[in-house]
Copies of this chain bind each other. A is one copy, B any other.
Amino acid sequence: MADTDLRHLEERRTGSTELLKGHFLHAFRDTVELPDGSSTTREYIVHPGAVMVVALLDNGHVVLERQYRYPMGRVMTEFPAGKLDAGEPSLVCAQRELLEETGYRAREWALAGTLHPVISYSTEHIDIWFARGLVAGERRLDAGEFLDVFTASPEDVLHWCCDGTITDAKTLSGALWLQNVLARHWPLEWQTQAL
């Protein structure tokens, strides 16, 4: 995209108040100066960031999960994902979450990109990792974590994105990457990791 002067859109923080420090949700209300000099407030969640893993099996299938998502009131189909621990590098988190939730380790990893699930009210980012050279093992779910692991062809994943079986935005975004990586339209830079 051509360089664009964006200063006429920018907002400037003039104050900040913590609204909520829950077990999980951490919310703030900032006062903000708008581009025309008027002021407003912005309320948002501060989030530690997360990773998602699109894990490619040697047979061409990918690893998926079914997990009950309480705010949705139903079980959702997703790529494996999880939150960063404090100070944890993104790849270490991706390796940890894939192992804990699915039992898989991977010989090769590639960072595809980053997505922002909810740019209007959360700081959350999700790094999109691809993994291949998978070795199956035992998963190590956290206490209180319940999820099913299964595998499916990329064709099935894309069909489920089309027919409404998959509606999770990070998984839809991962499917966009999967489709274009498999078509060799979008490049990945693979790095080898010790198992």
Contact = CB atoms under 8 A, between A and B. Distances in A.
Interface in A49-96: 66-72, 75-78
B22 A43 contact: yes
A22 B24 contact: no
Contact of A71 (B121, B146, B165): B121
A32 B113 contact: no
Contacts of A168: 115-116, 119
Report copies per complex. Answer: 2
Interface string A112-124: 0111111111111
Interface in A116-156: 116-126, 144, 146-148, 156
A19 interface: yes
Interface in A143-178: 144, 146-148, 156, 158, 160-162, 164-165, 167-170, 172-173, 175-176
Contact of A118 (B24, B30, B34, B118): B118
Secondary structure dominating the interface of A: mixed
Contacts of A165: 1
B69 A119 contact: yes
A145 B16 CA distance: 21
Contacts of A67: 9
Contacts of A22: 19, 27, 29, 43
A107 interface: no
Given A1-B77, A34-B146, A71 B120 contact: yes
Given A1-B165, A6-B66, 7 more contacts: A11-B68, A24-B43, A36-B146, A71-B121, A125-B167, A169-B172, A172-B173
6 contacts: A11-B68, A22-B43, A35-B68, A38-B144, A162-B185, A169-B173
